[in-house]
Amino acid sequence: MAHYYLICTYILAGVLGLCVGSFLNVLIWRLPRGENIAKPASHCPKCGYVLKWYDNIPVLSYCLLRGRCRNCGERISFRYTAVEILNCLLWLACVWRFYACGIGAVIACCVAVSALIVCFFCDIETMTIPDSMIIGIALSGLALLILEIFGLGTGISWQDRLWGMGLGLAFFAFFFFFYLVVKRKEALGFGDVKLMGAVGLLVGWQGAILCTILACLGVFVWLLVRLLRRRGGVQTEQGEFPFAPFLAAGALVALFFGDAIISFYLSLFV
């Protein structure tokens, strides 16, 4: 019977993950632009064609339409389908990783990973991080904190979560204001500071440190690739670059594999 419930949970998470992933595309497009997320209905940005329900079936509609608008033939970015698939896979991963902790932990983590996906793509496309998504991550962390008090959480104590939030806010805020005073310009956006505070509440102080290290490593590798491309004669853009995608990716690694990575690291010194 337990296996039956687990299989049903996987199926439900997969289907809902795809459907919610479709909605995330709406958030990614409309939130940074201050548009209403409910109205108008989804439509082609070129010809204004209002999508029918059968044009909005996650993944399947994209394949049937061959990645083009039904009305004008304008190409549809694969990013929409990628977000749907990514959200589905991450929701399945939440079931895999946290089902033993209880359905409450699974739901809280699903909300958190979906919000991280929105932050990831919004910052890439518009260099902004929606406050509503940061609040969603923080509320997920708060829900896990409350569940932890009743022994239903993911194993990170409520004290560690509060320390994580404080550490994330303090470290990134210090870096933000220090660079602002010394260099008279921003080294990172204040949205990154708020995001890291929410992530700290979600994954605890050890997870927050791991997330920061992974994000910095990701930036280093990305900058190295840019440098090598430039040496090869390929011109690349200069100036600001989005940091939230690296933080979001680091947060996902810390959420799913933080305990294993930290335990392995500590075992090297024992």
Contact 97/78 with Cβ under 8 angstroms?
Answer: no
Q: Has residue 124 been placed in a domain?
A: no
Total Cβ atoms within 10 A of residue 14: 15
Contacts of 164 (CB under 8 A, 6+ apart): 199, 200, 201, 202, 203, 204, 205, 206, 207, 208
Instruction: Give yes or no for a contact between 24 and 114, defined as CB atoms under 8 angstroms apart.
Output: yes
Residue-level pLDDT, tens digit, the chain, 270 residues:
778 889 999 999 999 999 999 999 999 999 998 888 888 778 777 787 787 877 788 898 888 888 888 878 778 889 999 999 999 999 999 999 999 999 999 999 999 999 999 999 999 999 999 999 999 999 999 999 999 998 888 889 999 999 999 999 999 999 888 888 887 777 788 899 999 999 999 999 999 999 999 999 999 999 898 888 876 544 444 567 899 999 999 999 999 999 999 999 888 887
Is residue 91 situated within a structural domain? no
Could you tell me if 199 and 140 are in contact, meaning their C-beta atoms sit under 8 angstroms apart? no
What DSSP string describes 210-223? HHHHHHHHHHHHHH
Q: How many structural domains does the chain have? A: 1
- Residue 189, classed as helix, strand or coil, is coil
Q: In one letter, which amino acid is 142?
A: L
Q: Which amino acid is at 74?
A: E
Do 176 and 193 touch, CB atoms closer than 8 A? yes
Q: Which two tokens stand for residue 252?
A: 């996902």
Let me know if residue 92 belongs to a domain. Answer: no
The answer to whether residues 167 and 191 touch, using CB atoms and an 8 Å cutoff, is no
Identify whether 74 is part of a domain. no
Burial of 140 (0-12, 13-18, 19+ CB in 10 A): buried
- Domain around 205: 151-270
Q: Does residue 245 sit within a domain?
A: yes
For the stretch 36-89, pLDDT in tens is 888 877 877 778 778 787 778 889 888 888 888 887 877 888 999 999 999 999
Specify the amino acid at residue 29.
Answer: W
Cα torsion through 232, 233, 238, 240, rounded to 10: -30
Residue 31 is assigned to a structural domain of this protein = no
Residue 112 lies in a domain: no
**Sequence-ordered list of residues with C-beta below 8 angstroms from that of 205, at least 6 positions apart, any chain:** 160, 163, 164, 167
Is 136 within the bounds of a domain?
Answer: no
**For 33, which DSSP code?**
T
